[in-house]
A and B are shown apart, each in its own frame.
Chain A
Amino acid sequence: MNKKWVGASIKRKEDPAFLKGEGQYLDDIHMLGMLHAAFTRSPHAHAKILSIDKSKAMAVPGVKAVFLYRDLPDIVRQQTLPLLVPHPSIIKTKLPYALVNEEACYVGEPIACVVAENRYIAEDAAQLVEVEYVVLDVANDCLDALESSTHCAHLDMSNNIAAKFQINVGDTDAVFKTAPQVISERFFQHRGGPFFMECRGAIASYDKGADAYTLHVSSQGSHRIKRCMLELFDLSDDQLRVVAPDVGGGFGPKGSYYPEYANVAVAAKVLGCAVKWIEDRRENFLTTHQERDQYWDVELAVNQDAKILGLRGRLVHDNGAYVPWGIVVPWISATTVPGPYVIENFKLDVFSMYTNKIQVTSVRGAGRPQAVFAMERLMDRVAQTLGMDPAEVRRRNFIQPEQMPYNVGIIFRDGRPVTYDSGDYPACQAAALARADYLGFKARQAKAREAGKYLGLGMANAVEATGLGPYEGATVKISTTGKITVYTGAVPQGQSHKTTLAQVAADALNADPKDIQVITGDTALIGLGIGTFAARTAVTAGSSVHLAATDVAQKIKAYGAAMLSCAPEQVSINDGYVVLNSDPQQKKSFREIAVRSVGMPGFSMANGLAPGLETTSYFTPDRSTYSNGTHVVELEVDIHTGSVEILRYTVAHDCGKLINPMVVDGQIVGGIAHGIGNALLEQMVFDDQAQPVSTNFGEYLLPLSTNMPKVDMVHLETPSPLNPLGVKGAGEGGTIPAIAAIISAVENALSPFDVRISHTPISPQDLVELLGEHALGETTL
């Protein structure tokens, strides 16, 4: 065989089942006697609960139980849901209980868990739980929450600051004192939610004899959910199995631990049967974590040659009502700012604010799109101020490939210095510009203007930390049927792990990926795991599969050689057999060898070989590996309607070695769609009482097929030196620079009208407003 599978665009192993409707998503799981949960939720963003009467709900035929905070087991009542990532800069840690005790802090916070024969009855009864509230003042906008409002998101706090920290490199203030040119601006960015197509859900069951739970959950990381459950319920490792079945999208927030998961487990134990909860789409808008508002007040100091001297400012981040992931998002934002540019002096003060809104945790891009937007807008401003070409401004400030590895001077969220391992940023931008025919754009723009059309071109660069630690493991096993199976704690939600990890194992075991099964996200099958997020699986799980499969290959060769009475060096593996090199007719099948490797009762193992053909590896990356990319967008703005049509979208992207180029392309195009949504469409709207008012897909606009341009892609492949496969993450790079590039292009299209855009998303209404009289056609240029 000796075919190399890594690098090949093979078709996905996942697809046939999905295409035939044979996937097994959470709500597809039926259990005998299963009951269904629904939640009574706070209709107020901030309210104190005076009393709750559940008698009417209990009286509905088919209702089995109604749980309030006071009905929860002591252990669950006495502690909040866990803090996943503690950090010393958190001043006041606020986390929710499984059900609201006295104070509800966002619209949708669960107050009662109603369990009934079916979901229809449970939902009927949830409306009948009577709650008496005192409505409280709300902390709404995060900037107000910092600067002016006296309203606190939590009654026991005297201000709304969850955390504050400073990034400080060089001597920024000194540089600003003498800088020949300073550009300053306020940027506001809103991101919106994940809006995976499959809403959240969980099924808990409880085995009384074993005193153990099983939780099926639509999640990005079953081991992490398990860790949270073990803490909250004070269980030992063997008392809980968590399984993630097929997962219909995640994009970050499905990696979080949510209160509903605790409630179904409580109900399953009390009621003695399986209890299922499926989130509906309105609940999804209210209660699944989002990314939301950031205000950036930033100043950039440059010299007359457009070289950056320093950057300073303040970032105000809305973390919502609680901080389950600590300050992960604003920390990533702050540390992403320098991107591909040399910035020797950098100072940013970051405030993470409590508001009475659903929590903010990572959504695809995880704080990076905002940082890239701020940085890239500033680069455009430099070009405008100095009358220079925006590509040239960027080019003059790039970190050069010979400076790699490059220490940016700041600490990333993994606790390690931000050190770019590899990458060629000037080449990446040059490749994107060439493919986009950048040099020909001015002529295209001029010609369009003659026809009364407004074309614009924008660009953005980004560098992204990927492959975050601590590890993701893999067990590779050849069973006594001769079949190869890979078990990992990584949980795919569309990323194609079952194909790409099989490709990695196939190379090590000289097998065909179709003969390798990949089983993900079951805590019973591999001891430790973290989950799929942060563009980390190819690096961490991929490397672990490589290491484990390589080791299993050594083991099977040792056994095979013993059975063929020769040395391991005299055999090789081919298509399910260990073959004697000098006489290929002499061979032993994986099945025969695997049976031998498990031993026979009463006989010693031959030649001191360890039993079994199974190895578990946990690759622990020393630090993140950095992907990078350049996006170039050409679009047309209709100045009368404010509509934006993207005509040409070009990407140059470097995520190291590609395991499956087709899969990487899919990740990038999907990421761009998410970026288009963030730039032009998606806005989670709240009224002045922090009441969400965009809670369905009619009011919250996701990108449609008609919003998508053709995407032209160039892959650069700078291998990462930090892992055995040379790979870097690819899951988020499509989104991160997209927003900045699109807004840059819109502004460029409207340059005759001197329109400046410093917020996202930008709607047609916003554009018409910015254009003022020009939009009415009263002034044409």
Chain B
Amino acid sequence: MSDKRNITVTVNGNTYEREVDTRTTLVDFLRHDLELTGTHVGCEHGVCGACTVLVDGKSVRSCLMLAVQADEQSILTVEGLALGGQLNILQQCFQDHHSLQCGFCTSGMLMTLTEFLRDHPEPTEQEVQEVLTGNLCRCTGYLPIISATLDAARKMREGSI
């Protein structure tokens, strides 16, 4: 039943060569083959956004992508955000604004917002609200995530001046 392929992927700057079943999803590959368990599986049907990672800079639901489709591509996961173990600006703003409770949706939120803030350095509150509609959170009611994002955008702009 199993059909295998060899793939080479770069994750958070490290290159991995692995043999995978063709039906293995990218998220299962990251979590179980590479043991990068920071990316979470919330719904396995592409709605909740918990498994969001960046593939060649673009946000992807890693539960809806096969590992073989990521061959020769570069992936950024939540484990690649902190710099030398220190929280980055967005992560720090999440802590400052109490933007996470159980923490399970957080990795997906961070990855969605990492792409968003890269492309929208001066977002409006409404834009932040809209980009977050692709990520479900049952704990926080989203408000502290929105305020953390706006705060992070401000701090990133200040930092880049």
Contact = CB atoms under 8 A, between A and B. Distances in A.
A764 to B, nearest CB: 17
B106 to A, nearest CB: 5
A281 B49 CA distance: 13
Nearest to A9: B98
B51 to A, nearest CB: 11
B103 A494 contact: yes
A697 B129 contact: no
Given A20-B91, A120-B21, A246 B103 contact: yes
Given A248-B40, A705-B142, A711-B143, A19 B47 contact: no
Contacts of B136: 197, 697, 702, 704
B156 interface: no
B138 A197 contact: yes
A669 B138 CA distance: 11
Contacts of B48: 197, 281, 697
A247 B139 CA distance: 12
A249 B98 contact: no
A209 interface: no
A249 B44 CA distance: 17
> Taking each of B32, B45, B78, B139, which has the highest tally of chain A beta carbons within 10 Å of its own beta carbon?
B139
Interface residues of A, number: 61
A280 interface: yes
B1 to A, nearest CB: 7
Nearest to B37: A28
A696 B21 CA distance: 26
Interface string B23-53: 1100000011001111111111101101000
Interface in B91-137: 91, 94-96, 98, 100-107, 110, 128-130, 132-133, 135-137
B146 interface: yes
Contacts of A15: 94-95, 100, 103
A14 B94 CA distance: 12
A27 interface: yes
Contacts of A706: 129-130, 133
A741 interface: no
A198 B138 CA distance: 10
Contacts of A12: 95, 98
Judged by DSSP, the binding face of B is loop
Contacts of A415: none
Given A197-B50, A662-B98, A20 B82 contact: yes
B40 A705 contact: no
Contacts of B130: 705-706
B44 A18 contact: no
Given A22-B38, A61-B1, A698-B47, A674 B95 contact: no
Interface string A10-52: 0110111011111111011010000000000000000000000
A672 interface: yes
Interface string A193-219: 011111100000000000000000000
B138 A27 contact: no
A578 interface: no
Contacts of A250: 102
B104 A16 contact: no
A748 interface: no
Contacts of B140: 666, 669-670, 673
A531 B102 CA distance: 16
Contacts of B82: 19-20
A18 B47 CA distance: 21
Contacts of A672: 141
A708 interface: yes
A494 B138 CA distance: 10
Contacts of B128: 705
B62 interface: no
Contact of B36 (A21, A278, A669): A21
A672 B129 CA distance: 17
A16 B40 contact: no
A27 B103 contact: no
A696 B145 contact: no
Interface string A246-282: 1111110000000000000000000000000010110
B67 interface: no
A183 to B, nearest CB: 34
Contacts of B129: 705-706, 708
Contacts of A512: none
Chain B interface: which size bin? 35 or more
A710 B159 CA distance: 28
A248 B107 CA distance: 12
A542 B36 CA distance: 35
Interface in B37-82: 37-45, 47-48, 50, 77-79, 81-82
Contacts of B50: 197
> Taking each of A25, A698, A703, A705, which has the highest tally of chain B beta carbons within 10 Å of its own beta carbon?
A705
> Taking each of B38, B103, B133, B136, which has the highest tally of chain A beta carbons within 10 Å of its own beta carbon?
B103
A248 B43 CA distance: 13
Given A30-B35, A197-B136, A710-B143, A696 B101 contact: no
Given A28-B37, A249-B138, A697-B136, A18 B106 contact: yes
Contacts of B87: 16, 19-20
Contacts of A669: 140-141, 143-144
Nearest to A281: B43
Given A19-B95, A197-B104, A670-B141, A705 B45 contact: no
A64 to B, nearest CB: 16
Contacts of A281: 42-45, 48
A144 B110 CA distance: 47
B79 A21 contact: yes
Contacts of B132: 704-705
A467 to B, nearest CB: 20
Given A61-B1, A251-B138, A696-B43, A19 B106 contact: yes
B41 to A, nearest CB: 7
A24 B103 CA distance: 10
A663 interface: yes
Contacts of B144: 666, 669
Contact of B138 (A666, A674, A711): A674
A11 B39 contact: no
A665 interface: yes
9 contacts: A19-B87, A19-B100, A20-B79, A21-B36, A280-B44, A663-B98, A665-B98, A672-B141, A673-B140
Given A249-B101, A696-B43, 8 more contacts: A20-B78, A23-B104, A124-B1, A197-B136, A248-B102, A278-B41, A669-B140, A708-B142
Interface of B: 1, 21, 23-24, 31-32, 35-45, 47-48, 50, 77-79, 81-82, 85, 87, 91, 94-96, 98, 100-107, 110, 128-130, 132-133, 135-146
Top 8 nearest A-B pairs by Cβ distance? A21-B38, A248-B104, A494-B101, A18-B103, A494-B102, A673-B141, A21-B78, A697-B47
